[in-house]
Structure 1
Amino acid sequence: MEPQSENNKKSRFIQWLKSRLLIRPAVDRDPRLSSNKTKIGILSILMMQASMPGLSSTIYFPGLPTITSELNAPNIATILTAALFVLFMGIAPVFWGSLSDYYQTRRFLLIIAMVIFTAASLGCALISNIWSLIVFRCIQSVGSSAAMAVGGGCLADLYNVENRGGPTSNLFLSMFIGPLIGPIIGGFLTISNLTWRSTFLFCVAFGSFVLIITFLFMPETYRDNKKFDIDTTLPTTLPLSPVISATTVLEEHKNSEIFDKNDSAHFKNNKKCNQQHQQQEKIKKKTFNPIRPLLMLRYPHVLLPSLVGGIVFGSFFALEAVLPILYEEIYGFTPWELGLCYLGGGVGSIVGAVFQGCVSDKLLLRAREKRDGKHKIEDRIGINLWPCCLIFIPAGLLMFGWSAEYKLSYWIGIVAFGIQTFGMNQVLPETNAYLLDATPGEGASVLAAATLVRMTFACVLTLCASPLLQLLGPGFLFVIFAALSWIAAGLMLINKIYGRNMRRRVGFEQDEEMD
């Protein structure tokens, strides 16, 4: 009995291991019917993966002077280690999202991404010249950015529209808490014996841990909407009565045998057309287009919220890049003190994300109640977003810029950073939740497109920040960024008013009743 029991255990383990290695495991149960415990576990894994890009993009910042001197690197090369990382953070999700939607898989891509990230982080820790570091940083960015697109698709799989706001907020909190705690962790790691290399070894350890957790506990979540969505169309014919007479049945059968030949031919032609249509659909489905996510930007209701997210995040990233330059020059801060200056932004991110998670879905349901229960996707752009774009974000940017301009207390700039991130962590989750709601079945692709826009803005505004800082000073530099946030509010207003019509023109109107 004992050998047989051991054999059964080995057999079950082998079957379990094989199921873990499948690229596309079968999803027989609607992911949205999963237990809250399962959803929380999946969301936790996604949050850990989503924190990778921001964490790894900034964790080595306190060690940049040491890298430059130890590797005899020119300044432009050191800048490229950061600029190209951000650029690939925008490009890579386009391919991750396209692969996810085409192959209809989430879990396998997240595992592959963690393998790439961990291996590239090890390469960064072992390099001996700056150009090798640039190459490995680009590869590291590719591996870290999968969750930015695939994670959004997982949320669309697990949650319906009414319950998606809170999880989206949590996912975005992890995305933006990474660049805020990265310099803090890196500041303390840099003073160790391994200096800047210890920051990349930390990424190796963190990536390995997330890889193991994802492999062991992450289920496949891809949801086939055609398979699990219930057809709510009411029947147009009555069911067959159980007391129909035999005569009626015989008459119906007799009539069915005297179809006209033309009707029969017409039936065959229709059947043939249907078969051809199905074949065309299969061929269309097999067509892989890696730039398909980019094509989503041709839709105005996708482009506008993507631009809003790009402006808001780009301003944040530019402030984050300028902060160590200003505070080292004005206040003479050391690397670990510079890392602690990011705590204000971290607190603002947490408070903003928690607040957004509490009010997002409630505001959506409240707007629906005012419309007698009718659903409108533009309700996702809630009333809490307008103070963020018009007041909190520009106020934080202006306070930071002018406090540095007049060399006021550094606490003003730290608090101002928190005010800016408080507004940002409400705008970005809501715009992404809107994109998921407005493009059903395209979750990974549309978020990949939005991520590309966001990272492009971050790259451009960060590269422009340094020369503009020298030309205009910090005060007027952040006046420009504040003006961009007001422009973002205008774009969001256009999307709020005309979004439904824009979606109808391109065929995304199945979510609500026609007027």
Structure 2
Amino acid sequence: MAQDLSYLGDAEKAEEIGASVQGAVFEEPAKPHSEPLQEANTTHGQQEETQVVQDEAQDLEALAAVTTGPVYSAFSNFKKKYIVVMVTWAAFISPTSANIYFPALNPLRKDLNVSTTLINLTLTSYMIFQGLAPTVFGDLADMAGRRPAYIIAFIIYMGANIGLALQNSYAALFILRCLQSTGSSGAIALGYGVVADVSTSSERGTYMGIVGAGTMMGPALGPVIGGILAQFLGWRSIFWFLVIFTGCFLVPYILTVPESGRNVVGNGSIPPQGWNMTVLEWWQHRKEEKSGELSRTEIAEGRRLAQAELAKGRKLRWPNPLKTVYIIMEKDVAMVLFYNSLIYTAFYDIMASIPSLFQEIYHFNDLQIGLCYIPFGCGCAVASFVNGRLLDRNYKKVARQIGFTIDRKRGDDLRHFPIERARLEIIWPLLYTGLACILCYGWALEKNANLAAPLILQFFIGLCVNGSFNILSTLVVDLYPQSPSTATAANNLVRCFVGAGGTGIINIMIDRMGRGWCFTFISLVCALASPMLLAELKCGMKWREERRVRMDKKKEEKKEREAARESSFSSVESAGTEEEVETPLGEEKKDEKS
């Protein structure tokens, strides 16, 4: 297809095949327009004319949308919301696992008779694998589909938690924590990939905000849950809780959540096969086979052809984590990833320092310290839901300003749309307000202020810094729509590695610099690095187009090499066939002469 309507990977061919069998819904793909479309007077004889699609009630101007071509996602609104809720649940598990562990550090150190330094190594190793694991699961999901990646990841995770609940040695604790991180950490990258599968760029902000809420609520609520469990039921109950909580997610996921990977089901209209099917889909398929409903109708045949076409381009291989590194090396993506890692580190430094600082200043026990994370959680929740709507609203605003046609059903061609502007325009008030709150937070602790002061500032830090983080995470997916899980894995890799370094030295910085100057330094570093986002805003679209042209050129060269290889192979085969035919004829002539 001539236009890239944000369709991902090999789904294009499948949708083209499906167009011949799905009726009016799957016609020729809509062609994007760089100039505003005028409202058409649609009559009975003008069914293929464009018609105006009204925006929400508060919109002052209607945007036209082309009504032909396959829809971007064939899932109903209810099913899309259900899928997003389930992946948000999954995204909540990984950060919760990392932070629910904090209240268990002292009991574990005593029970296993090891030093605080050795126990803290289990935190560092968790963050390292939290960065590495998504590079494998992200590529697996983009290659084989979302469902297999989710199921494999959470089976590993549940096994690790059972082992952690039963272990009695430091070596087992260390290894199983790494395994626990490996299983849970892929869920964040997979969640953003699923959002990219089912939502167009014009509505993606809202869904990304919901998944982001799950990601950022984990660090806020994890210590609260862990403190309650550790104090009343012992540290082993933390891991049994995680087993039960994950099981409650995995059972309905296996039963009901459909495959959304566009290289497996296209836009959702192509039935999945094998391990990509839900249990309910498999059962329904069996019933149809027995009743003879799966007849060789035109539609059924078209679907089989589409499945075969997708399977042809979906060759299973060992996941390649280097794909994540390639994404990090792209200029436009690297700017966003690095700055995102800075504000994530600032956010996590505050959270990691709360136990020691609040115990020292306010003399709190583990349970009271855990409750102090609640303002963070509230701020993160508000940011995630409000921020997503702001992103979608600003997308429409930019589209109106440049006369760009929004097509919510079929997706937009972002090659000529300034997605960087649509995302980054709203980040500045959030970012600088959040950095100012971090600075004030440090000096409130320095002056031993009333508890209300740091808790209120925590809420606004969660609101503003997490809001900035969600904006940049959404932009990362928009910049790499063909491999959203791999792009999110790159985001996760950079932020976890930078975050691991930052949290490793935060207590040293506080001891050497003091509380006030330490957090002043953190906020100044983020502020001084913010021109990186200005560079992305100014040059990002140009860099993105250069990357697209370069990638298209590589694809064409690869196709030419494959075509040349097939041509040479077929010529060798035909030459061999001719020799086989000529040999008997020659022998017959010799027999006649004799």
* Distance in 2 between residues matched to 1:491 and 1:507, nearest whole Å: 21
Residue 286 of structure 1, CA deviation: 6.5
Q: In structure 2, do the counterparts of structure 1 residues 387 and 195 end up closer, same or farther at CA, with 3 Å as the change threshold? A: same
Structure 1 match to 2:592: none
Q: In structure 2, do the counterparts of structure 1 residues 186 and 288 end up closer, same or farther at CA, with 3 Å as the change threshold? A: closer
Structure 1 match to 2:102: 61
Please say if residues 296 and 449 of structure 1, whose CA atoms lie closer than 8 Å, have aligned partners that are also in contact.
yes
Q: In structure 2, do the counterparts of structure 1 residues 183 and 430 end up closer, same or farther at CA, with 3 Å as the change threshold? A: same
Residue 124 of structure 1, CA deviation: 1.0
Normalized per residue, the structure richer in helix is 1
For 1:310-342, what per-residue CA distance to the aligned partner results, in whole angstroms no more than 9, with x for missing partners?
011111111111011000011100111001100
Match of 1:323 among 350, 354, 357: 354
Q: For structure 1, which segment, 284-293 or 315-324, has the greater mean C-alpha deviation from structure 2 after superposition?
A: 284-293
Please say if residues 142 and 263 of structure 2, whose CA atoms lie closer than 8 Å, have aligned partners that are also in contact.
no
* Distance in 2 between residues matched to 1:285 and 1:430, nearest whole Å: 33
Q: In structure 2, do the counterparts of structure 1 residues 490 and 330 end up closer, same or farther at CA, with 3 Å as the change threshold? A: same
Residue 227 of structure 1, CA deviation: 5.8
Structure 2 match to 1:463: 504
Structure 2 match to 1:12: none
Residue 107 of structure 1 pairs with residue 147 of structure 2: yes
Please say if residues 165 and 236 of structure 2, whose CA atoms lie closer than 8 Å, have aligned partners that are also in contact.
yes
Structure 2 match to 1:379: 421
Q: In structure 2, do the counterparts of structure 1 residues 45 and 228 end up closer, same or farther at CA, with 3 Å as the change threshold? A: closer
Structure 2 match to 1:6: none
Does the residue aligned with 1:145 lie in a helix, a strand or coil? Answer: helix
Please say if residues 98 and 291 of structure 1, whose CA atoms lie closer than 8 Å, have aligned partners that are also in contact.
no
For 1:15-69, what per-residue CA distance to the aligned partner results, in whole angstroms no more than 9, with x for missing partners?
xxxxxxxxxxx99897712111101111111011101111011112112111111
Residue 294 of structure 1 pairs with residue 334 of structure 2: no
Once superposed, what is the RMSD of the aligned Cα atoms? Answer: 2.5
Does the residue aligned with 1:221 lie in a helix, a strand or coil? Answer: coil
Residue 440 of structure 1, CA deviation: 2.4
Please say if residues 300 and 502 of structure 1, whose CA atoms lie closer than 8 Å, have aligned partners that are also in contact.
yes
Structure 1 match to 2:127: 86
* Distance in 2 between residues matched to 1:101 and 1:313, nearest whole Å: 25
Please say if residues 503 and 509 of structure 1, whose CA atoms lie closer than 8 Å, have aligned partners that are also in contact.
no
Please say if residues 352 and 423 of structure 1, whose CA atoms lie closer than 8 Å, have aligned partners that are also in contact.
yes
Structure 1 match to 2:219: 179
Q: In structure 2, do the counterparts of structure 1 residues 301 and 225 end up closer, same or farther at CA, with 3 Å as the change threshold? A: farther
Amino acid at match of 1:335: D
Residue 209 of structure 1 pairs with residue 240 of structure 2: no
Does the residue aligned with 1:125 lie in a helix, a strand or coil? Answer: helix
* Distance in 1 between residues matched to 2:207 and 2:180, nearest whole Å: 26
Match of 2:238 among 195, 199, 204: 199
Residue 484 of structure 1, CA deviation: 2.4
Structure 2 match to 1:121: 161
* Distance in 1 between residues matched to 2:543 and 2:318, nearest whole Å: 27
* Distance in 2 between residues matched to 1:133 and 1:200, nearest whole Å: 12
In structure 2, the gaps of 5 or more residues are 1-13, 23-70, 269-308, 405-415, 553-594
Match of 2:476 among 430, 435, 446: 435
Please say if residues 71 and 129 of structure 1, whose CA atoms lie closer than 8 Å, have aligned partners that are also in contact.
yes
Please say if residues 344 and 414 of structure 1, whose CA atoms lie closer than 8 Å, have aligned partners that are also in contact.
yes
Residue 424 of structure 1, CA deviation: 2.2
Structure 1 match to 2:381: 350
Q: In structure 2, do the counterparts of structure 1 residues 181 and 226 end up closer, same or farther at CA, with 3 Å as the change threshold? A: closer
Residue 509 of structure 1, CA deviation: 9.6
In structure 1, the gaps of 5 or more residues are 1-25, 230-277
Structure 2 match to 1:155: 195
Q: Runs of 4+ in structure 1 displaced over 4 angstroms?
A: 26-31, 225-229, 281-288, 508-511
* Distance in 1 between residues matched to 2:314 and 2:213, nearest whole Å: 40
* Distance in 1 between residues matched to 2:112 and 2:266, nearest whole Å: 56
Please say if residues 134 and 492 of structure 2, whose CA atoms lie closer than 8 Å, have aligned partners that are also in contact.
yes
Match of 2:438 among 375, 386, 397: 397
Structure 2 match to 1:388: 430
Q: In structure 2, do the counterparts of structure 1 residues 404 and 288 end up closer, same or farther at CA, with 3 Å as the change threshold? A: closer
- Please give the TM-score of this superposition, normalised by the length of structure 2: 0.69
Amino acid at match of 1:182: G
Structure 2 match to 1:309: 340
Does the residue aligned with 1:191 lie in a helix, a strand or coil? Answer: helix
Amino acid at match of 1:174: G
* Distance in 1 between residues matched to 2:400 and 2:316, nearest whole Å: 39
Residue 425 of structure 1, CA deviation: 2.4
* Distance in 2 between residues matched to 1:122 and 1:183, nearest whole Å: 20
* Distance in 2 between residues matched to 1:423 and 1:211, nearest whole Å: 32
Match of 1:474 among 509, 515, 526: 515
Please say if residues 136 and 320 of structure 2, whose CA atoms lie closer than 8 Å, have aligned partners that are also in contact.
no
Amino acid at match of 2:427: L
Question: Identity, % of aligned pairs?
Answer: 27
Match of 2:76 among 35, 39, 43: 35
Residue 223 of structure 1 pairs with residue 250 of structure 2: no
Does the residue aligned with 2:262 lie in a helix, a strand or coil? Answer: coil
Aligned residues: 433
- Please give the TM-score of this superposition, normalised by the length of structure 1: 0.80
* Distance in 2 between residues matched to 1:314 and 1:497, nearest whole Å: 25
Please say if residues 393 and 485 of structure 1, whose CA atoms lie closer than 8 Å, have aligned partners that are also in contact.
no
Q: In structure 2, do the counterparts of structure 1 residues 508 and 425 end up closer, same or farther at CA, with 3 Å as the change threshold? A: farther
Structure 2 match to 1:412: 453
